[in-house]
Amino acid sequence: MLRRGPISRLVALAAKLPRPPQVVAAGLVLVCLAVLTIEALAFDYASVASATQFAWLYFFLLWNSAPMLTALSLTLLTRASGLGFRLAVYGFALGTGSVTLYYHLLWAFDVGGVTTRSSTSSLIFVWIPVYATVFGLILAAPAGLIGYIATARRASRSSAQRVRSSA
C-alpha cells in the first residue's frame, strides 16, 4: 500500500468539504466586511485628524478597499460554482484580507513606530492594494489547484464505481 503524502492529504481534505459551502462563504463575507469597516474608520480618523478634507482623499479609500470589495463580490458570486473555483476565490479572499488587515493594524497601533518614524510612511496606503492582490493571487493558485484535483479524483472514483457496478 502506498503512503499518502501531504498533497494527497490536502486533496482528500478538500474533497470532503461540504458541497454547499454556506458556512465558509458566510465567514469570509463577515471577515471582508470587518476589514472594510476598519478601513473606513481608519480613513475617517485620518481625514479628520489631518484637517484636510480634500475630495481626492476618497480615491484612496476606494483604492484601499478595491481588493476586499473584489474578494467580497467574488465570494458572493461563486457560491454555486465548482470546488476548484470556489477554493481559488476563498484563497484570494484570505490573502487579500490578511495583508490588508495586517498593514492597517500596523498603522493603527503604530507597531514598531510604523507611523511615527518616517514622514513618508503613509505611502504604504498606495501599495497595500497591490500587495494584497498579489498575495491573494498567490494563495488562490494552490487553493484552486487543490480544488480541481479533488474534483477530478471525485469524478474518477465515481466513474470507476459505475464501471464496477455495471460489470
Ordered mean pLDDT values, 10 residues apiece, the chain (167 residues): 60 62 64 69 57 62 82 78 86 89 82 81 85 94 91 78 65
In this structure, is residue 138 part of a structural domain?
yes
Could you read off the pLDDT of 2-42 as tens digits, one per residue? 456 666 666 676 666 655 555 566 666 666 777 777 666 66
Give the residue numbers spanning the domain of 54: 20-166
Domain-embedded: residue 11? no
Instruction: Read off the pTM.
Output: 0.69
How many distinct structural domains can be found in the chain?
Answer: 1
Q: Which amino acid, residue 135? A: F
* pLDDT (0 to 100) of residue 1: 44
